[in-house]
Structure 1
Amino acid sequence: MRTVFSKILPVIRNKYLLSLVVFSVWMVFFDDRDVITTHFRYKSELNKLEESKEYYQQQIDQTRAELAKLQTDPDLLEKYARERYRMKRDNEDLFIIEDKVTE
């Protein structure tokens, strides 16, 4: 038993190995950019970004479908221009009525 302990003791007393062990423990558990917390934070952020990517992809598909309809149907284009951009014909008057919400 004494021979095993006498072989391990110099390894434990090695200042470089001890420094490496302390540094590794510090980086894994205690640092601001530690391995464990940073991994979970980045994984959570990645999931949020993938959800927003999916949402925006749906919006793009919806907008493309709307654009295709507007390019083929002139009546729908006129309706869209009147509702969204408040356009009117030359001989018309435009009245905008806003609902007042009371709470």
Structure 2
Amino acid sequence: MKFLSNIPGWLKNKYILSVIAFVVWMIFFDAKDILTQRERTRELRQLQDSKAYFASEIAKEQKALEELKSNPAAIEKYAREKYMMKKDNEDLYIVEPATPKE
């Protein structure tokens, strides 16, 4: 038992060993360990940001829809911009921005 004499007294205490084993188990081996909880918290934050973004997009699209339902000029503008429609006596020119050459 000479090898036990080199171990400090606080490492021989069964309560301290139990607490150390519990902390190690909770940090690394448990299903709800700290590393997994941090990852889930980060994912939750990203999902909440996505939810806020999509809620604002839905509100914007609903506003545009109400505008299209009530304003005939908005319908004409939408058709001209999105579907490249024109009147019979008009010419339509599409100007695309120049892309930089590599």
**TM-score calculated relative to the size of structure 1:** 0.66
CA 1:27 to 1:85, structure 2 compared with 1: closer, same or farther past 3 Å? farther
Instruction: Give % identity.
Output: 37
Aligned residues: 84
1:54 aligns with 2:55: no
Once superposed, what is the RMSD of the aligned Cα atoms? 2.6
Contact preservation (8 Å) 2:26, 2:33? yes
CA positional deviation for 1:94: 2.3
1:98 to 77, 96, 99: 96
> Displacement, 1:45?
0.3
Deviates more, 1:90-99 or 1:53-62: 90-99
What are the superposed Cα offsets for residues 39-97 of structure 1, whole Å, 9 maximum, x if unpaired? 11001100110011000000000000011011101011101110112112334332211
TM-score (ref. length: structure 2): 0.66
In the alignment, the residues of structure 1 paired with residue 94 and residue 62 of structure 2 have an alpha-carbon distance, to the nearest angstrom, of 29
Cα distance in 2 for residues equivalent to 1:41 and 1:82: 47
Unaligned residue ranges in structure 2 (runs of 5+):
1-13
TM-aligned CA distance change 1:90 to 1:32, over 3 Å:
farther
The answer to whether the 8 Å contact 1:27/1:34 transfers is no
